[in-house]
């Protein structure tokens, strides 16, 4: 790895850490950085997931006071998330390189749209919850499981999806939902990370460099939150995601 590549990964990691601390959506920056560093797409995706995974963990720990009690429902949700994340990671590793490369632009576009419409999605789910009764346990778990399969597979925008799903299925206030979301995202990311590591799908020099940057960025994010407003960061992520969609569509589809 040359100096330029190391610097790129470090800077992308710092940016990703800050973005995840303030708005979410780091993968839209960090995954393309892994690709630019020259890694094959599947390895880049797995390495990226490992490099930014500590962020979820820290977020979950930071808000642990709001974590739901360990009811049967919570524990079954954690189990479903872990299983979903593992399945998603397994599917990624089973997929031939060229079959993963094709949907990459669509995955980036999908995640970008999720971020762009996150407020609308959230507004809609909350409005829906007031009118409808809570769905049964089985249905909630199935939807949650599907979301977590996506999370283990690609992961960008998982937070938005989880918040939306939990807003419908859980009767709690938004802060508790966010805390539960962080907990479940951690389960997904831990399961996927373990599979990636043990299947040898992680390139450590690149991953370690980005991870270092991401931790510094996450730490800095706590201070920057006063001077960098979240909405601005969110708009930056949406623009970056749109640009990445165009770049990778041109590269893989044309």
- Which residues of this protein are in contact with other proteins, per CB under 8 A? 1-2, 5, 36-40, 42-43, 96-98, 200, 203, 205-206
- Residue 96 CB, shortest distance to other proteins, in Å, is 7
Dihedral angle over CA of 74, 75, 76, 82, nearest 10: 110
221: left (phi over 0), alpha (psi -120 to 50) or beta: alpha
**Are 113 and 106 spatial neighbours (Cβ–Cβ below 8 Å)?**
no
For other proteins, the closer CB: 36 or 137:
36
- Residue 38 CB, shortest distance to other proteins, in Å, is 4
For other proteins, the closer CB: 65 or 96:
96
**Are 9 and 33 spatial neighbours (Cβ–Cβ below 8 Å)?**
yes
For other proteins, the closer CB: 67 or 208:
208
Exposed (0-12), middle (13-18) or buried (19+): which is 200, by Cβ within 10 Å?
exposed
Cβ-based neighbour number of residue 198 at 10 Å: 9
Q: Rounded distance, CA 163 to CA 129, Å?
A: 13
**Are 29 and 16 spatial neighbours (Cβ–Cβ below 8 Å)?**
yes
- Residue 102 CB, shortest distance to other proteins, in Å, is 10
**Are 184 and 37 spatial neighbours (Cβ–Cβ below 8 Å)?**
no
Cβ-based neighbour number of residue 143 at 10 Å: 18
- Residue 37 CB, shortest distance to other proteins, in Å, is 7
- Residue 52 CB, shortest distance to other proteins, in Å, is 19
Dihedral angle over CA of 84, 147, 112, 116, nearest 10: -150
Q: Rounded distance, CA 51 to CA 55, Å?
A: 9
For other proteins, the closer CB: 15 or 92:
92
- Residue 48 CB, shortest distance to other proteins, in Å, is 14
Cβ-based neighbour number of residue 137 at 10 Å: 13
For other proteins, the closer CB: 205 or 230:
205
For other proteins, the closer CB: 39 or 185:
39
For other proteins, the closer CB: 96 or 138:
96
- Residue 73 CB, shortest distance to other proteins, in Å, is 39
């Amino acid at each position: 790895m040359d100096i330029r590549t190391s610097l790129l990964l470090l800077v992308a990691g710092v940016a990703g850490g800050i973005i995840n601390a303030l708005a979410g959506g780091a993968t839209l920056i960090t995954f393309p950085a892994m690709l630019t560093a020259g890694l094959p797409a599947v390895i880049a995706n797995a390495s990226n997931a490992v490099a930014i995974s500590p962020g979820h963990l820290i977020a979950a720990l930071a808000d642990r006071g709001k974590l739901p009690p360990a009811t049967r429902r919570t524990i079954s949700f954690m189990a479903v998330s872990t299983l979903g994340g593992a399945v998603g990671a397994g599917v990624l590793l089973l997929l031939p390189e060229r079959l993963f490369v094709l949907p990459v632009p669509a995955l980036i576009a999908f995640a970008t749209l999720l971020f762009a419409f996150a407020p609308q999605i959230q507004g809609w789910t909350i409005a829906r919850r007031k009118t409808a009764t809570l769905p049964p346990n089985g249905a909630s778990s199935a939807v949650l499981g599907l979301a977590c399969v996506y999370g283990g597979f690609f992961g960008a925008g998982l937070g938005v999806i989880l918040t939306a799903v939990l807003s419908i299925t859980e009767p709690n206030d938004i802060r508790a939902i966010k805390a539960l979301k962080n907990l479940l995202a951690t389960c997904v990311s831990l399961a996927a990370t373990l599979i990636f590591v043990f299947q040898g799908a992680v390139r450590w020099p690149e991953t370690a460099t980005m991870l270092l940057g991401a931790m510094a960025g996450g730490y800095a994010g706590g201070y920057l939150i006063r001077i960098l407003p979240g909405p601005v960061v969110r708009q930056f992520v949406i623009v970056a995601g749109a640009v990445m969609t165009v770049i990778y569509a041109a590269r893989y589809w044309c």
